[in-house]
């Protein structure tokens, strides 16, 4: 499972010009599900994101998490995070999970964050979306449940 996590002061997601989700301060999580991902990857990713200390404390150090500050998360499924561009010019998505597996694990991820007391807005699975992001910092973190960078 892969995620691009961006600290934001606001974000929204729309489908066909209709806004379906919005957050104020918090995190936008673009989440990709791989072929070999399972519930363990979901738990890892949700725990990591819920407790990721990338918000400033009173002294300005990145020492607070979205959970501690009661901030929000906008979760958007993004299979293109598994695009492999090493060969040729068109990315291969052969390592991305199929729609049924990806939807199940994406939904588990959203449910896991909600169970941790985080307000979560979500994109619409397998739909063309417009995502508006107001980066804060900017702070962008890459997380992969299978490897470290």
Query: Active-site positions?
Result: 78-80
What is the rounded CA–CA span in Å between residue 31 and residue 5? 9
């Amino acid at each position: 499972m892969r995620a691009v996590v961006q600290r934001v002061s606001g974000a929204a997601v729309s489908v066909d010009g209709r806004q379906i989700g919005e957050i104020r301060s918090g995190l936008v999580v673009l989440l990709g599900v791989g072929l070999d991902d399972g519930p363990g990857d979901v738990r890892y990713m949700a725990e990591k994101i819920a407790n990721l200390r990338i918000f400033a404390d009173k002294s300005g150090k990145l020492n607070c998490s979205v959970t501690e500050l009661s901030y929000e998360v906008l979760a958007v499924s993004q299979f293109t995070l598994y695009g492999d561009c090493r060969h040729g010019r068109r990315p291969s998505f052969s390592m991305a999970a199929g729609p049924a597996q990806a939807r199940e694990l994406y939904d588990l991820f959203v449910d896991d964050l909600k169970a941790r007391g985080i307000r979560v807005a979500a994109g619409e699975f397998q739909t063309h979306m417009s995502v508006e992001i107001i980066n804060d910092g900017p702070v962008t973190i890459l997380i992969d449940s299978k490897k470290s960078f």
